[in-house]
Chains A and B, each alone.
Chain A
Amino acid sequence: MQGNIAFLGYGLAAIGPGIGVGLIFAAYINGVARQPEARGMLQTIAFTGMAITEALAILGLVFAFVFQG
């Protein structure tokens, strides 16, 4: 079996951002369910938070390709 340890590392690195994005959207759904009129404002905040959290996973993917050699 062949493979590359860098991608295993990416899998591990994606756990944290995965949980983080899940928490963000859970809070967003909760917020919209409690107060539907706040949807527009919450959407902006949720996507900003997601962009920052997801950055970690994206950097992980790129580093997996960079260090696979």
Chain B
Amino acid sequence: MSLNVVPLHMLPAVVPAAEGGGEGFETPGVANFWWPLFGGDGAFAFTRPALVLLISVALIAWFFVGATGKLSLVPSKRQFLVEGTYNFVRNTLGRDIIGSKDFLQFLPLLFTLFTLILVNNVFGIVPFVQYPTFSRLGFPLVLTVIVYLTYHAVGIKRKHGVLNYLKSLVPPGLPTWLKPILFVLEFLTYFVIRPLTLALRLMGNMLAGHLMLLVFILGGEYLLLHGDNIGLKGAGILSMAFSVGMTFFELLIEFLQAFIFTLLAALYIADAVSEHH
């Protein structure tokens, strides 16, 4: 961990010196994530993440439809991978959390969420694509809206009506004076905090991870090419080398975030499905 201290300390020292020389270091920011491809520069522009998302959908469809079209008793490598992914989502995320009685009807949703998020996250470090789609809030927001509508609809259906559903938010067996306070808290959790954090967690992790890679690579490149002495150039090389390590760390985070998003979606659905609470 001592490696990352070096370039971060060096950067502020470099910037004023470079400003005197004409060209300064531009810190990467959120603006680096705005990539309109065509259709103007406004809200309806077709952007790079939209293209990446379309590619990922085509890739997932080709992969799974192609693999399940010719299933064999002795699985090929591709079928093994498909079965492994499906088993993981089915058993770890579906059966263990939602419960063996109800999980099958939610499996398509969970499997779609998991594969879509996983492929799009991993695209963040695939060469030539290198854009984590879910670092733009609009994309995780759509997935969150789907999960949000699903678990509320299931909850209202299972608890027989909106009023009963709202009543069921408060756990039973509480003193009367505590109930209104807890109802407000639970209501906020179910209707505001959960969707907000579900979308923002994915977006924040992808944005922060990619931004960190940008800082290390661009900062390292700047130190290497524009550093005044051998120490700064060395720090640039260290920063570039460290970014390779951070890329592998990003891979871990990308898997983890796909897992956590699907896990939380399953948890919320399990909450709605359960009879008690």
Which residue in B30, B260, B270 is a CB contact (below 8 Å) of A65?
B30
Whether B197 and A51, one on each chain, are in contact in the complex, defined by CB atoms closer than 8 angstroms, is yes
With A47-B264, A48-B267 known to touch, is A54 a contact of B16 (CB < 8 Å)? no
Whether B30 and A47, one on each chain, are in contact in the complex, defined by CB atoms closer than 8 angstroms, is no
Interface string of A34-69 (1 = CB under 8 A from B): 000000100110011001101100110110010000
Whether B97 and A44, one on each chain, are in contact in the complex, defined by CB atoms closer than 8 angstroms, is yes
Interface string of B11-33 (1 = CB under 8 A from A): 01001100000000000001000
Whether A1 and B16, one on each chain, are in contact in the complex, defined by CB atoms closer than 8 angstroms, is yes
Q: In the complex, how many angstroms separate the beta carbon of B257 from the nearest chain A beta carbon?
A: 11
Q: Is the CB of B125 closer than 8 A to any CB of chain A?
A: no
Closest A residue by C-beta to B271: A48
Which residue in A1, A48, A51, A52 is a CB contact (below 8 Å) of B12?
A1
Q: Is the CB of B200 closer than 8 A to any CB of chain A?
A: yes
CA distance A65 to B207 in the complex (A): 12
Interface string of A6-39 (1 = CB under 8 A from B): 0000000000000000000000000000000000
Chain A at the B interface: SS class:
helix
Q: Which residues on B sit within 8 Å (CB–CB) of A47?
A: 260, 263-264, 267
Q: Which residues on A sit within 8 Å (CB–CB) of B200?
A: 58-59, 61-62
Whether B204 and A61, one on each chain, are in contact in the complex, defined by CB atoms closer than 8 angstroms, is yes
Whether B193 and A55, one on each chain, are in contact in the complex, defined by CB atoms closer than 8 angstroms, is yes
Q: Is the CB of B208 closer than 8 A to any CB of chain A?
A: yes
Whether B15 and A54, one on each chain, are in contact in the complex, defined by CB atoms closer than 8 angstroms, is no
Q: In the complex, how many angstroms separate the beta carbon of B215 from the nearest chain A beta carbon?
A: 13
Whether A51 and B208, one on each chain, are in contact in the complex, defined by CB atoms closer than 8 angstroms, is no
CA distance A45 to B104 in the complex (A): 22
Interface residues of B in 188-221 (CB under 8 A from A): 189, 193-194, 196-197, 200-201, 204, 208
Which residue in A1, A55, A65 is a CB contact (below 8 Å) of B197?
A55
CA distance A35 to B265 in the complex (A): 27
Q: Which residues on A sit within 8 Å (CB–CB) of B260?
A: 47, 51
Q: Which residues on A sit within 8 Å (CB–CB) of B16?
A: 1
Q: Which residues on B sit within 8 Å (CB–CB) of A52?
A: 189, 193
Residues of A within 8 A of B (CB): 1-2, 40, 43-44, 47-48, 51-52, 54-55, 58-59, 61-62, 65
The 9 closest A-B pairs by CB, nearest first: A55-B197, A1-B12, A58-B200, A40-B96, A61-B204, A58-B204, A58-B201, A58-B197, A51-B264
Can you list 6 contacts pairing A with B, beta carbon distance less than 8 Å? A1-B12, A47-B267, A51-B197, A55-B197, A58-B204, A61-B208
**10 new A-B pairs (CB below 8 Å) besides A51-B197, A65-B30?**
A1-B15, A2-B15, A43-B96, A44-B267, A48-B267, A51-B260, A51-B267, A55-B196, A61-B208, A62-B200
